[in-house]
Every structure is written in C-alpha cells, then in structure tokens.
Amino acid sequence: ARREAQDSHNATQLKRGNRLEFRFFKANRRWHGFLKNVEFVHAVMAFAKDNPIADCHADPFTRWVGHQTKRWNTYPTLTAWLANTNL
C-alpha cells in the first residue's frame, strides 16, 4: 500500500489483480489535449491486449503507436505528441 501511495501522481498505474488505472488530473481546455488522452487510453488497451505484460514498455509502445498511425491513421494526435516528447 505504501508503494501505491508513493506512485499516486503517475498518469497510469498497474494495480493489484492486473488492473490498470488511468489518471488525468488536470482538465484539458484544448481539444487536442483531450483527444490525445482518449487516444492514449485506447492505444494502451489495444497494445496490452496483443502484448505480454513483460513487453509493455515505452519504446515498444511508441513504435507500435507510430506503426498503427502510419498504417491506419489511428492515433494521429498521440503520435504528434509523442514525437515532441522525450520519453
């Protein structure tokens, strides 16, 4: 419980029982910010569905998101945000 309390400011958190929790504290006043968050949650769920938990890290995830966007234009807002973010 102490570790969970220390991690309470993370946007995502893996909880006991393989439950993934998403937290977005600050409301987005811009449409792109809101859309990025929605695309992120959808992308994480789709990525986790097809990948073992041990492979769920930032680098494989960002490559997967980029591939999905190039192939299907699925996450354009998230892809643009990731391109401007240093993970």
Q: What is the pLDDT of residue 74?
A: 93
| Percent of residues in the chain assigned helix, strand, coil, to nearest 5 | 60, 10, 30
| pTM for this model (two decimals) | 0.72
Q: What percent of the chain has pLDDT over 70?
A: 72
Is residue 4 very low, low, confident or very high in pLDDT (cuts 50, 70, 90)? very low
Q: Is 42 a residue whose pLDDT tops 90?
A: yes
Closest CA to 66 of 54, 55, 82, 52: 82
